[in-house]
Structure 1
């Protein structure tokens, strides 16, 4: 019988580590032009939540509309075990951007908000609170002074503060904070444990179809002209010639005799917008049974045992004030599921 992975049990923490080293590299000149730095590198064995940033899964999962409190309620977190250092978004904030994210801070006095109190005290008052009039100012008044407003919170030792030291922090949507897109999933407490069924845009298995794996072919001599694999850019019937490892499908009249080509044999164009040039502009051929958050790719095929490995690939995206688009699906492979001849596979 066909087997559908249980979306309820899928989280970023349940995936095995990535299987090869990789990186995203663009020049400093390009970074300045884009106003965004997608650069990162990873080693084989690293977990996905330390490679993927919030911006990468924004379009697919709507992650940016989460608040910390919503994540907490989904995964049963205890905030007392965390400090502000564990909330990676804080490292990108200034007094001004914090005020923009949490407008309710405006009438609160600086001295009542421990991180802001210490930031002002240490940088403006010689470390003394006595006689330091600035501490009695409201947040709004401090932000009227551009020099004070631009003081960065990452000057502080953030591990000494709790989430509750910034009123309203845990009830603020992630997207309200400056540079939220560039924070790794691992830097948002509990996010890697959220079920793929519980994201604001949850994954769905509604449109999944099944077929049976009839035959597995190695790269030796086969061409593949009846493909159901490819990419959003090239379509999902991209033929392959000259050594095309693939599986042939049956059991479903819709795609009898069709072929799903291995991503090891064929690369296809991927991505859109400025970021489409990353990963050389190409990605392994595959399909999207679960939507566009990740791509399902057939990896190694062993013809002698009839074994088929599938992998997942993720991408880099940036949709802020300017939509820079998304890269090809180049972050992978992440081992997914193993099939045998005569098993049913989803497409």
Structure 2
């Protein structure tokens, strides 16, 4: 994995290029001798970090279950910088036990106590019993050190198991294990020294130095001994093969080309069934196969990766800016032709991921047998760990992105710069969003400022806000940071009969809660429970309900659990759902609090959409209504353009429009575009020019076939009902992209 190679391999390279005593001094030192020296090197043998540095917080990354972020200073030992998670997948560190570390290193752990085990920081007594095999079933009388050395010794007595003791004393179970039995020797705890490191919650986030003796384990003694990458960046091309090679059922055994295979990390991908390629030679590359771009591989990730998910096999020796491909081979002449491939990424707060490397450009370069070629380091990551400098002219070969991609990026940019978005400090928001899973961060960037705004209104402290955000992550964060998430499969399982299932950010349930919270938000949630799915109401339900104990009515408010004297993130779960997922949510809260403490300000503002109060409200309601289902409108949504606009107006608290025209074929029903324009021209609005148009203005198609709502100044972006999809999600220009072809549209500003 990338994190292993960036830290571990580079540390090894630093060590063996700056410590001449580690390698034989003369040129006759063989590769075998060097490899032997490396395999017998431990992390504590490596030199200190040569300069200050850091790894930023990338948030949740698929396949990485710990936070990769860290900072270090020049002179820091590598064991204080590298994390256990850095060497879990690559070296199998998670499979090691303390007993094995003791045996491998010859260390004596007899005097080490539970309190000395820094990697147990944050692990509760409850979790500790689950992490150590069968420990909860041991009789406390068989572990006398518990009664003797623990400050809570009186509970560790009598004819009962350790699990019984903790079940009867849940407050002890919630405490950190080091605070409960910190003075007990690790040798006194049954099975502890036989427990694999990977069994302990959060061990991946601990540094190597937090685990006794781990930094002294030679790299060759780990469960997965360190794989030595080839540091030969320019091996020699050997034979060029055509389609007949590997045309049977056997795949290429040493593929060094590949793609991401649907992840965010490059990996080699074998080919089966006819695989033109070049074979490589030279030290570290003997027999390796680089497949041509005819070998199509799965690539890309996120929203953009779903749009373009296939690439020709490649390597990335110059880093991720572009990929290097063998475009074709000629078996008769032995010639290979080369090209580049580019991708499109949009990362950050609005994280759309990356496309595959699908934009292919020929280089006009040929190589033949015996030529040196560029591969980069053979690291299992396409050469990306030690990127080479590419000729500047190669980056200039990047083609323009397809229009479809540009439209998607622009649509997301518009959605998060519109009047619907509550604005807050960008650095603060980016930190908070990073706690959400990567594929939900775009949604989190929209909803988190609204939660912050509401918490400010209710006077919540940072720790209280952290716990509210942690609750959202637990309740709906696995599905998406959206308010319109509705529980399925249990429509009649809650108090009050059918219809009171989970809705919104906190998954509101039970008719009594709908009635109680409806009074808080000033809406009839019993008569219209789906209002709990609306962003403004869902946020208020979440914050007010948790602050004032309105969900479970436990008799203890948020202030009881989290105040100036204590932060009981574990038991605060009682405000929503007893102790379900209590430890997990407490962990989320700690992460959110850490990010909140880095915020310079939590002030929020609603960005003006221009054009006065009514247009502001309309623009905001239109953005929040994006994707609204219109199938219950006229003709199953096919003729629901006015119906959809009036739903938006209703959401903005504005009377519907279009029912006042004499001769309206459906008097009193606002479903006819001519009726809307009549109302706008007769007391409800004023026509404006395109130059004066603002977000929230109403757009009427030239021959009154369609209607939409402006979403920006100048009205270059209009949102309206899509007849074919029966939903409020058609984004077009002012003239509806010329679809109706009947002259310019007219724009009106609603005034009442």
TM-score (norm 1): 0.55
Q: Which runs of 5 or more structure 2 residues have no equivalent in the other structure?
A: 1-27, 236-255, 269-280, 287-316, 323-346, 354-373, 389-435, 439-752
State yes or no: 1:190 paired with 2:234: no
Which shows bigger deviation, 36-45 or 46-55? 36-45
Q: In the TM superposition, what are the counterparts of 1:37-52 in structure 2 within 5 Å? A: 37-52=67-82
Match of 2:199 among 153, 176, 184: 176
State yes or no: 1:96 paired with 2:137: no
State yes or no: 1:135 paired with 2:165: no
Match of 1:9 among 31, 40, 51: 40
Asked whether the equivalents of residues 18 and 48 of structure 1 are also in contact (C-alpha less than 8 Å), the reply is yes
Query: Quick one: distance in 2 between partners of 1:97 and 1:68?
Result: 18
Task: Compare the two structures and name the one with the higher helix fraction.
Answer: 2
State yes or no: 1:86 paired with 2:116: yes
Asked whether the equivalents of residues 286 and 295 of structure 1 are also in contact (C-alpha less than 8 Å), the reply is no
Q: In the TM superposition, what are the counterparts of 1:261-276 in structure 2 within 5 Å? A: 268=320
Match of 2:104 among 74, 85, 102: 74
Query: Quick one: distance in 2 between partners of 1:9 and 1:49?
Result: 16
Q: CA deviation at 1:199?
A: 0.7
Q: Which runs of 5 or more structure 1 residues have no equivalent in the other structure?
A: 122-128, 214-227, 237-249, 255-262, 271-275, 300-321, 325-347
Match of 2:55 among 2, 12, 24: 24
Give the match's secondary structure for 1:189: coil
Over the aligned positions, Cα root-mean-square deviation in angstroms equals 4.9
Q: In the TM superposition, what are the counterparts of 1:110-149 in structure 2 within 5 Å? A: 112=143, 114=145, 119=150, 121=152, 132=154, 135-136=157-158, 137-145=160-168, 146-149=170-173
Judging changes above 3 Å, is the alpha-carbon distance between structure 1 residues 181 and 210 closer, same or farther for their aligned structure 2 residues?
closer
State yes or no: 1:155 paired with 2:179: yes
Judging changes above 3 Å, is the alpha-carbon distance between structure 1 residues 35 and 210 closer, same or farther for their aligned structure 2 residues?
closer
2:244 aligned residue: none
Asked whether the equivalents of residues 71 and 194 of structure 1 are also in contact (C-alpha less than 8 Å), the reply is yes
Match of 1:56 among 70, 86, 90: 86
Q: CA deviation at 1:89?
A: 2.3
Judging changes above 3 Å, is the alpha-carbon distance between structure 1 residues 80 and 251 closer, same or farther for their aligned structure 2 residues?
closer
Asked whether the equivalents of residues 112 and 185 of structure 2 are also in contact (C-alpha less than 8 Å), the reply is yes
Judging changes above 3 Å, is the alpha-carbon distance between structure 1 residues 323 and 76 closer, same or farther for their aligned structure 2 residues?
farther
Judging changes above 3 Å, is the alpha-carbon distance between structure 1 residues 163 and 204 closer, same or farther for their aligned structure 2 residues?
same
Match of 2:140 among 97, 106, 109: 109
Give the match's secondary structure for 2:54: strand
Judging changes above 3 Å, is the alpha-carbon distance between structure 1 residues 234 and 151 closer, same or farther for their aligned structure 2 residues?
closer
Task: Compare the two structures and name the one with the higher strand fraction.
Answer: 1
Q: 1:3-41: per-residue Cα shift (whole Å, max 9, x none)?
A: 3332332221222111221223449x989xx99544421
Q: CA deviation at 1:65?
A: 0.7
Asked whether the equivalents of residues 61 and 200 of structure 1 are also in contact (C-alpha less than 8 Å), the reply is yes
Query: Quick one: distance in 1 between partners of 2:118 and 2:187?
Result: 15
Query: Quick one: distance in 2 between partners of 1:65 and 1:59?
Result: 10
Q: In the TM superposition, what are the counterparts of 1:301-316 in structure 2 within 5 Å? A: none
2:552 aligned residue: none
Query: Quick one: distance in 1 between partners of 2:89 and 2:65?
Result: 19
User: Between Structure 1 and Structure 2, how many residues are aligned?
Assistant: 248
Asked whether the equivalents of residues 55 and 181 of structure 1 are also in contact (C-alpha less than 8 Å), the reply is yes
Give the match's secondary structure for 1:89: helix
Query: Quick one: distance in 2 between partners of 1:174 and 1:57?
Result: 12
Query: Quick one: distance in 1 between partners of 2:87 and 2:111?
Result: 26
Judging changes above 3 Å, is the alpha-carbon distance between structure 1 residues 141 and 120 closer, same or farther for their aligned structure 2 residues?
farther
Query: Quick one: distance in 2 between partners of 1:22 and 1:190?
Result: 25
Match of 2:222 among 196, 199, 206: 199
Q: In the TM superposition, what are the counterparts of 1:273-312 in structure 2 within 5 Å? A: 287-289=376-378, 297=386
Q: CA deviation at 1:268?
A: 3.7
Asked whether the equivalents of residues 140 and 162 of structure 2 are also in contact (C-alpha less than 8 Å), the reply is yes
